[in-house]
Every structure is written in structure tokens, then in C-alpha cells.
Amino acid sequence: MERSGIRMDERLATAVVDMYCKCGCVEEARRVYEALPAKGLTSWNCMIGGLAVHGRGEDAVELFGRMEKEGVAPDDVTLVNVLAACAHAGMVGEGRRCFDHIVRRYGIEPKMEHYGCMVDLYGRAGQLGEAKKVIDDMPMEPDVGVLGALLSTAGRWEDVARVRRLMDERNVSKEAGRSAIEVDGEVCEFQCGSLCHPQAEEVYAMARDMMRRIGAEGYVPDTRDMLHDIAEEEETPLLYHSEKLAIAFGLLRTRPGDTMRITKNLRVCRDCHEATKFVSRVFEREIVVRDRNRFHHFKDGKCSCKDYW
């Protein structure tokens, strides 16, 4: 850019911030963002949304406060992003406060997705009564997204079963689990339980070896999601979940110390989450996984989501 004399204006900076956030590089995004002298609504929204998917709830709410102080009025998107940030970080009270504040102060009419965010906020925190109250009180019929948000409520399987029936009735189709990893500039995709990759034998052998090694370090398979989750992968042996195959491939093809970046089309299941934590410690690798909902940064046996996702 310097050589070609392209100026970093707001539009370009926002695109760069967005790119960094989507690639899991939230610190780089923040640096570009902070260096931008004049920030408009789109760039505020972009940065707040980026922090949200990375589980940086407090930073996102703080940034929203700064946005208000600088006299930039929030819109629909800001409200979604602030609520998502609170939901991902378990900040229930703060989320409620922001919702009331933004709606009242700026006269924003809450839409379906805002109610979905509120259901998600309470559901994740296990406050099912409050989540149901949001659904009961909303002025329109809840759609699949809003009902689905209830599913993140762990341990309430009766309710989950009910929501699931509702979703079945509405014919919500299940998607196949797919994970992609970038190695040397090439994106390789793995499908859950699929053997069609050219290096399938090698990848499967590595996956088995990887599971054996983390098993020796205390990993225990977690089959709960197989029984209860809505993930399409429920009938596939845990070992063959697509992100495990992608990680095994990454271990084969990247250099020691390289960060692995994986994108998954569905929510990561509990077992893959636990296994990835172990892999990050046993193989001394940073692993960044973007699933349908958010980013997980695995390092030294821990995940940035603090097991709350």
C-alpha cells in the first residue's frame, strides 16, 4: 500500500479490520482500528462485532461506550453486536442494560434478531425462565433462529427436545459438518466421517495417534453432544468429526509452532472442544477455530471462550 500510495481511508480500514477479525487476528484488527483517525458508524460496528465473536465482551461494551461518547448514534447492527458480545462473555446484566438503553435512548425498534440475541444471552447463562419470557413478550412469532437460541441452554434436555420437535415440524434441514484449514496458502476441507481426501489414510492415522496421545494426558471422550445436540454429526464417531480431521491434517502439514487456523460451518461440539484444548497443550500449538457462532483461541490447554460458548 505504501509503495502504491493508496491511502488508508475509513472504508479500506474497515475492510482490513473485518478481514483480520474473520481470520482470527483480533489484535491486528484492533491496531488498524485504533490508528484510524475518523471513525464512522460502520467501522465502530465492525470492531465491536469483531470483539464480540472473539469473546471479548468487556472490550466490546467499553468500545460501545466510547462510540457513544464520541457522539456516534448506534443502529440495528450495533445493538446485535453489543448483545452478541455480552452473550458470548456471559455478561447477562450488562446485555439487558445495553438492550434497554439502546432501545430507549435511540428509539431503535427491536427486530427478530435482537430478540434472538436476548434469548441467547439468557439461554447461555442457564436462565431459561427469562429466555422464555423474552419469547412470550416479543411482538412477532419467534422464528427458528430464536427458538434455536434456546438450544444453547445446557442440561435442559426436555426443553431442547421440545424445541427440536418444533424445528422438525418446520423442516429445518441439517447441514453436514465441514472444517477447513489453510496450509501453505491452500485451503483443505474435511467433511465429517468422509474418506475422500487424497491423504485420507495418513490423516486418519494421525487423528488416531493424536487422540491416543491426548488420551494418555487425561483427555476423556465426551459423548453428551452425540446424544443430545442438534449437530448433524451426532451419529458419527467422535474421532471422525471434521475439525479433528482438519487438526490432524494440520499437525501433518504445518511446522512445529505454527498457529493452525480452522473454520467450521457448525458449532463445535463439546468433545472436539475438549480434545482441541488437549492438543494445544500436548502438541504445543495455538489453534484458532471459527465455528458457526464465534472464535475459539486454544493455547496451553485452555480456550479463550472459557468453555462458555
Binding residues vs Zn ion (CB under 5 A): 241, 269, 272, 296, 303, 305
Question: Whole-number minimum distance, CB 194 to Zn ion, in Å?
Answer: 14
Of 156 and 224, which CB lies nearer to Zn ion in the complex structure? Answer: 224
> Which DSSP category does 67 fall into?
H
* Alpha-carbon span 279 to 146, nearest angstrom: 34
Is there a contact between 36 and 13 (Cβ–Cβ < 8 Å)? yes
CA 281 to chain CA centroid, nearest Å: 21
CB of 269 to Zn ion, least distance (A): 3
Q: How far is the CB of 76 from Zn ion (least distance, A)?
A: 28
Q: Is residue 226 left, alpha or beta, with left meaning phi > 0 and alpha meaning psi from -120 to 50? A: alpha
Judged by CB, which is closer to Zn ion: 42, or 194? 194
In the 8-state DSSP scheme, what is residue 215?
A: H
Judged by beta carbon, residue 181 or residue 305, the one nearer Zn ion is 305
Q: What's the one-letter identity of residue 34?
A: E
Q: At which residue does the C-alpha cell 465473536 appear?
A: 53
Distance CA(44)–CA(292), nearest Å, equals: 22
Q: Which is nearer to Zn ion, 126 or 132 (CB)?
A: 126
User: Are β-strands 260-264 and 186-191 bridged in parallel, bridged antiparallel, or unpaired?
Assistant: unpaired
At its nearest, how many Å lie between Zn ion and the CB of residue 170? 25
Residue 33 CA to residue 44 CA, distance in Å, equals 9
Q: Quick check: helix, strand or coil at residue 211? A: helix
Say if residues 283 and 259 touch (Cβ distance below 8 Å).
no
Q: Which is nearer to Zn ion, 53 or 305 (CB)?
A: 305
Q: Closest approach of Cβ 303 to Zn ion, in Å? A: 3
| Smallest distance from Zn ion to CB 295, Å | 8
Residue 39 or 56: the one with the smaller Cβ distance to Zn ion is: 56
